[in-house]
A and B are shown apart, each in its own frame.
Chain A
Amino acid sequence: MKRKKTFGDWIFDTINVIIMLIVVFVTLYPFINSLAISLNDADDTVRGGITFYPRVFTLRNYELIFQNKLVYNAYLISIARTIIGIITGLLFTAALAFGMAHSNLKGRRFYTILCIIPMYFGGGLIPYYFLIRSLGLMNSFWVYIIPSLVGIWNMLLMRTYFMGIPSALEESARIDGANYFTVFFRIILPISTPILATIALFIGVGQWNAWFDAYIFITEQSLKPIQSVLLSIISEAQFAQRMAQAAAAQAGPVDVGRVGKGVHVNVRSLTMATMMVTVLPIVMVYPFLQRYFIKGVMIGSLKG
């Protein structure tokens, strides 16, 4: 761009920067505001006007939610499903992808078609629900793990990666008498850390964020993940809000739903604290995460 900036360019650039700043503000503000509210004294929050930082700093809201056995337990469930989900999902998906990367695989065409069709057509929720039921996965922790052992999209990404590995590497091991298991575990997996990390992140974020499976397949409270707890809290918060509005219509301002024994907590503070701990792991790994994800999207966009 050797051309000199004209007045028109100057206006365009200014407006463009303003648009970008608006995008940044609108994206970040809800997070920052929620963080501020979660760190602010509940009684004080009711007065309103918290924007970017807490006015009366306290960790009380966080103490309260982690004293709650439900939240604590749900957090452990979320961690468990994420870790177990990553390990098992990675293993099964990679094994399938490794095989599918071999052009000499017998039945490869058939397998490929078998994998492609479900990407465009599915049986829908109801038959799936009855499948899970008849597999005995209702109210079982394994409903989080078993149905997601293989991700077809992830498999295609991995397959693309495996196909890019020089075949000489595998052939020399095969000549030395190694079978495909040895090749897979000893040679391919160790040198595939970039793709394994990418897929691990895909699976991990998916597991951490999942709530629908718990919503329909799990009624046992002790098996619910943190997302489910947050979901029920926001439903109740809305309910409390409506009640507060009804009350406000009769008599002046009321603080929203007091919970607990003599402890002043407003539903909003609790919600925000729970929301923050739900999102915390994601925000922590996010800077590392996004680079990998972008790579994944790029490989994916080259068309599987």
Chain B
Amino acid sequence: MVGNTVIQPIGIRKRGGINGFVKEFLKQVDLQLLVIPGIIHIIIFSYIPMYGVIMAFQEFRLGDFPGMSEWVGLKHFRYLFTDPNFGLVLRNTIVISLLKLLICFPAPIIFAILINEILNMRFRKTVQTISYLPHFISWVVAGTLMFDFFSVDNGAVNSALLALGIIDRPIHFFGVGEYFWGMAVITDLWKSLGWNAIIYIAAITSIDPDLYEAAEIDGAGRYAKMWHITFKSILPTVILLLIFSVGNLLNANFDQIMVLTNQMTNPKLRAFADVIDTYVYRVGISGNRSSYAAAAGLFKSVINVMLLLTANKIASRTGHEVL
């Protein structure tokens, strides 16, 4: 910052240099005093943990001052990649996330396009309003509802399936490991469908109606318009949100999985449900292997950032608006 006097935007740094900066700073000390508490808060609660990740390269023992433990290099990462448990956890994380990306990502887009085709405004608003509701409840409440909905005794789903003669004995949906991936997707869809559609509905509302008329004159049918105008118009929004989703790929929703598995008490379920976040919690906080768990957490964050940057790059290469 010091001594760099080449091309300054007009009015930003008239005086330049460190003295000028201090003077200007002191002039607006009241403004700074409004900002600084927030900045300090961010430094403490976001940056100190970032610095704390170096414990992934150390042998942290309880009572150690963070960052001052013995260095062990990549030892924990070597353990991580040879640990069959971590392999399982990685598999679950990737499968659950990809399933969600495949189903829970496009569903709100389809929902938004379909809801746009509803011409009765009152019905449309009612459907929308109701569809948001699950977003506002916690996963604990959602879990309670879902457990009961899929419950073995008198749960709505089992009752309906029994009544329709599709099954002859109730299915323990949340008790069987093999079903967990499906249940994770279904419950996530239930909770987020309406809310995630909002942004697409907003994008659709801002489409110029002339486009539809022009398309109609060109002889476009209903489906052609839905595809060529509605969908193509919201494509930039879709791409943007897709980039974010890819950047979150290894976050498989800790809340949801902890609640739906009853905090991982059932080992049969755990084999299919344990994801990186729950694993980090289990080995790190319950199991006291802090450095090892921090390594797993760091691995996740780094992969996520790399995925985000890659997705962003691909999107910009293909000429889409990006981050």
Q: Are A268 and B148 in contact (CB under 8 A)?
A: yes
B146 CB → nearest A CB, Å: 7
Using a CB–CB distance below 8 Å, which chain A residues touch chain B? 1, 3, 8-9, 12-13, 16-17, 19-20, 23-24, 26-31, 33-34, 37, 48-51, 92-93, 95-96, 98-100, 102, 104-107, 111, 114-115, 117-118, 120-131, 134, 147, 149-150, 152, 155, 179-181, 184, 205, 208-212, 215-216, 227, 230-231, 234-235, 237-238, 241-242, 244-245, 256, 268, 271-272, 275, 278-279, 282-283, 286-287, 289-290, 293-294, 297-298, 301
CB-CB under 8 A from A130, the residues of chain B are 52, 55, 66, 290
A152 B42 Cβ-Cβ under 8 A:
yes
Q: Is B284's CB under 8 angstroms from A34's CB?
A: no
**Min CB gap B321→A, angstroms:** 10
Asked if residues A20 and B50 are in contact (CB atoms below 8 Å), the reply is: no
What are 22 A-B interface contacts by the 8 Å CB criterion? A20-B118, A20-B123, A23-B111, A27-B190, A30-B146, A33-B156, A48-B154, A51-B156, A99-B34, A105-B31, A105-B32, A120-B247, A124-B297, A216-B281, A234-B143, A241-B151, A241-B152, A272-B144, A275-B141, A278-B140, A287-B129, A294-B198
Q: Which residues of A contact B34 (CB under 8 A)?
A: 95-96, 98-99, 180-181, 184
With A95-B34, A234-B143 given, is the CB distance from A118 to B297 under 8 Å? Answer: no
| A8 x B190 contact (CB < 8 A) | no
Q: How many residues of chain B get a CB closer than 8 Å to chain A's CBs?
A: 94
CB contact list, B1-39 vs A, under 8 A? 21, 24-25, 28, 30-35, 37-39
The yes or no answer to B199 lying at the interface (CB within 8 A) is: yes
B140 touches A124 (CB 8 A): no
For B138, the chain A residues whose CB sits under 8 A away are 208-211, 227, 278
Partner of A100, one of B35, B277, B280, B285: B35
Q: Please report whether the interface of chain B is mostly helix, strand, loop or mixed according to DSSP.
A: helix
Contact (Cβ within 8 A) B28 A231: no
B55 touches A150 (CB 8 A): no
Contact yes or no, B141 A298, CB < 8 A: no
Q: What is the CA–CA distance of A77 and B293 in the complex, to the nearest angstrom?
A: 31
B73 within 8 A of A: no
Stretch in B83-91, B98-106, B259-267 with 4+ CB within 8 Å of A:
B259-267
Q: Which of A19, A26, A211, A282 contacts B114 (CB 8 A)?
A: A19
A66 to B30, CA, bound (A): 49
Which residues of A are found within 8 Å of B152, using beta-carbon distances?
A: 241, 245
CB nearest to A254 among chain B residues: B153
> What residues of chain B lie closer than 8 Å to A215, measured between beta carbons?
258
Which residue of chain A has the shortest Cβ distance to B13 in the bound complex? A106
Nearest 4 interchain pairs by C-beta: A127-B52, A123-B49, A96-B38, A124-B297
Given A12-B117, A286-B133, A93 contacting B290 (CB threshold 8 A)? no
Of A120, A209, A241, A275, which one neighbours B308 at CB under 8 angstroms?
A120
Q: CA A19 – CA B89 in complex, angstroms?
A: 36
A51 to chain B, nearest CB (A): 8
Contact B194 A123 (CB under 8 A): no
When the two chains form their complex, are residues A244 and B28 in contact, meaning their CB atoms are under 8 A apart? no
Question: Do A29 and B117 contact each other (CB < 8 Å), given the known contacts A23-B111, A126-B284, A180-B30?
Answer: no
